[in-house]
């Protein structure tokens, strides 16, 4: 995978995540795109270490946007990436349900880490909403990044 494509995507998703307004009618729910990127890296990269590097980098970008302790989300994303790398070898990476499951797992792991440290009202509801939104976002991100990877191949 081209490093430039992944780095640009991570920065664009971070900027998009920072600029979108919170859903105040759900109690301050914020749409997160970085768990889908972690899921993509975990199921796409051939080497486990690059999936973990992407997960930690995405976690640091996520923590830069939050009030939680720095590195907390990176550790949660790294654990989710390790789990997803193992799952990705057992299941079909291109199936829609696997992509959705991977996005939900990455989001749920980061949400559980944040809830353990910060807490909050309606934490279980927000965890389920974040997992569901990441499950919906993940196939779209997989499609876009697979297309970009396909287009960047030499002719």
pLDDT digits (tens, 9 = 90+) for 25-64: 666 677 889 999 999 999 999 889 999 999 999 999 988 8
Q: Which residues pair with 23 in a beta bridge?
A: 29
User: Is 80 exceeded by the pLDDT of residue 118?
Assistant: no
Half-sphere exposure of 86 (CA within 13 A, CB side): 6
In whole angstroms, what is the distance from residue 126 CA to residue 25 CA? 12
108 vs 65, more confident: 108
Name the average pLDDT for the chain. Answer: 87
- Locate all alpha helices (DSSP H) within the chain, ordered by sequence: 3-19, 34-44, 48-64, 72-90, 96-117, 123-152
State the pLDDT at residue 142: 95
- Residue that wins the pLDDT comparison between 129 and 140: 140
Q: Global pTM?
A: 0.89
96, two tokens: 């829609």
Contact call for residues 67 and 107 (beta carbons, < 8 A): no
The pLDDT of residue 1 is 55
Give residue 79's pLDDT. 93
């Amino acid at each position: 995978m081209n490093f430039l494509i992944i780095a640009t995507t991570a920065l664009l998703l971070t900027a998009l995540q920072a600029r979108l307004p919170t859903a105040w009618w759900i109690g301050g729910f914020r749409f997160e795109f970085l768990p889908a990127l972690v899921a993509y890296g975990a199921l796409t990269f051939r080497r486990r270490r690059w999936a973990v590097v992407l997960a930690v980098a995405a976690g640091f970008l996520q923590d830069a946007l939050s009030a939680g302790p720095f590195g907390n989300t990176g550790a949660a994303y790294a654990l989710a990436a390790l789990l997803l790398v193992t799952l990705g070898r057992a299941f079909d990476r291109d199936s829609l349900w696997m992509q959705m499951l991977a996005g939900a797992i990455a989001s749920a792991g980061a949400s559980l880490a944040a809830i353990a440290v910060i807490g909050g009202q309606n934490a279980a509801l927000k965890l389920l909403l974040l997992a569901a939104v990441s499950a919906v976002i993940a196939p779209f991100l997989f499609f876009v990044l697979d297309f970009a990877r396909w287009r960047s191949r030499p002719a």
